[in-house]
Amino acid sequence: MNNLFQKKILLIICGGVSAYKSLELIRLLKKQGVEVKTILTKSAKEFVTPLSVTSLSQGKVYDDLFNAENEAEMNHISLSRWADVILVVPATANTISKLSAGSSDDLASTVILASDKDVFLTPAMNVRMWEHPSTRENLKKLKSFGYKIIGPEIGDMACGEFGEGKITEPDNIVQEINSYFNKLHKNYKLKALVTAGPTNEYIDPVRFITNKSSGKQGHALAKAFAKKGFQTTLISGPTNLEVGSNIKLIKVETADEMFKATQDNLPTDVAIFSAAVADFKVKEINSSKIKKTGKLNLELEKNIDILNYVSKHNSLRPKLVIGFAAETNNVEKNAKKKLEEKNCDWIIANDVSNKAIGFHSNFNEVSIYYRDKNMHDEKLGIKSKSEISDEIVDRVIKKLN
């Protein structure tokens, strides 16, 4: 089945002997009805010409970050947003090293760094370069960032040696990309809801009660769902995080606002409640600022428990309800207790006393506890929050399908 028809692929061609195979790749993609835009790195032009690339792609070739014509027509941010996926062919040892370091010294690396889409790398290099510890470490790092790797294969190389490092053949690359879109297509009918960030419960016009949360894990989850084809709604408390254009973002501030937004956007197939909702709110909010005159006594009342409410109301309940448990001690005991009390399907718990994976870190380490006794509880070791999110969403897809 052709899942590539009318897809938009940004092909980045880097400088390596196997760059010539990008021409065959363009031909195969165009044959499948793909719209292709290309970026040629400076070194790639030593192996293939802009004229040959544009003749096959039937589109403009971009090559210079500091080019007034390019920026006027489509700047590097727009180019990264235009594509459904980005494909790097060949991904040389130098390219892999640059990307792992977050370098953005040319158009290709800048577009990749600015992209909110999946990036596929097709490594190609000498077998010794492929096996070098620095290459292995860089690839491991890129995988933790969410990059997808195609190949390489084992075979004869242009240098005369034999081994792993040969670029994947163009028709196999096309099959991999087609398979990727096929999986997305299966998920298009699925809806996901994610809550993220803190809530603010006002005492007076300038003061509020809140919970510590950056919203990074929840936002990463929403991006992972959207990338994998879900119709995704993100209900977020106050954060400074950017959201992809393919996510329905609803900004809220209080627990009551988050609860109403949740009700308005149910039912869904899956809901993940990762927000750090304040447990209490002030019974009566002062209309003017409270002056510092001795002691301040606040009368508090409980906020609605959004996770508990959704889990126990069949008319709203998604097929899969997942809660988060941010714990500082007895993580497993407290998480399993929450799993039972809240009637969740899964609880994802992490130890926020560990500063390396705390609220504002870009990394996390979580344990997943399942209500279904046929599923075994598991731990996801320290990874970037985006990689943690990808693994969680992969498990959700497997469960829903």
The CATH number of whichever domain residue 75 belongs to comes to 3.40.50.1950
Task: Count the Cβ atoms, other than its own, within 10 Å of residue 207.
Answer: 15
Same domain assignment for residues 356 and 322: yes
**What is the reported pLDDT for 316?**
85
Same domain assignment for residues 197 and 312: yes
Quick check: is 281 in a domain? yes
**Tens digits of pLDDT across the chain (401 residues):** 788 999 999 999 999 889 999 999 999 999 999 999 999 999 999 899 999 999 999 888 888 766 666 665 566 778 888 899 999 999 999 999 999 998 888 889 999 988 878 899 999 998 899 999 999 999 999 988 889 999 998 987 766 778 788 999 999 999 999 988 888 887 778 999 999 999 999 999 999 999 889 999 999 999 999 988 899 999 999 998 988 768 999 999 999 999 999 999 999 999 999 999 999 999 999 989 988 877 888 899 999 999 999 999 888 899 999 999 988 889 999 999 999 999 999 999 998 887 777 778 889 999 999 999 888 999 999 888 988 999 999 999 999 98
Quick check: is 371 in a domain? yes
Last residue of a domain, one of 143, 165, 186: 186
Quick check: is 2 in a domain? no
Domain that holds residue 152: 8-186
Same domain assignment for residues 148 and 194: no
Same domain assignment for residues 146 and 205: no
Quick check: is 154 in a domain? yes
Quick check: is 133 in a domain? yes
Q: Which two tokens stand for residue 368?
A: 């997943």
Contact 334, 342 (CB under 8 A): no
**What is the reported pLDDT for 344?**
94
Same domain assignment for residues 172 and 241: no
Same domain assignment for residues 135 and 223: no
Task: Count the Cβ atoms, other than its own, within 10 Å of residue 136.
Answer: 11
Last residue of a domain, one of 186, 209, 236: 186
The string of DSSP codes covering 57-69 is H-SPEE--TT-HH
Write the CATH number for 208. 3.40.50.10300
Same domain assignment for residues 307 and 175: no
Rounded Cα distance between 104 and 115, Å, is 12
Same domain assignment for residues 171 and 192: no
Last residue of a domain, one of 171, 186, 201: 186
Same domain assignment for residues 247 and 278: yes
Residues present in the chain in total = 401
Q: How many domains does the chain have?
A: 2
Same domain assignment for residues 280 and 181: no
Q: What pTM was computed for the model?
A: 0.70
Same domain assignment for residues 20 and 68: yes
Conformation bin of residue 289: beta by default, left when phi > 0, alpha when psi is -120 to 50 = beta
Contact 165, 124 (CB under 8 A): yes
**What is the reported pLDDT for 73?**
58
Catalytic residues: 159
At 91, give phi and psi (nearest 5°): -90, 100
Same domain assignment for residues 155 and 210: no
Quick check: is 205 in a domain? yes
**What is the reported pLDDT for 148?**
93
**What is the reported pLDDT for 389?**
93
**What is the reported pLDDT for 71?**
60
Quick check: is 1 in a domain? no
**What is the reported pLDDT for 72?**
59
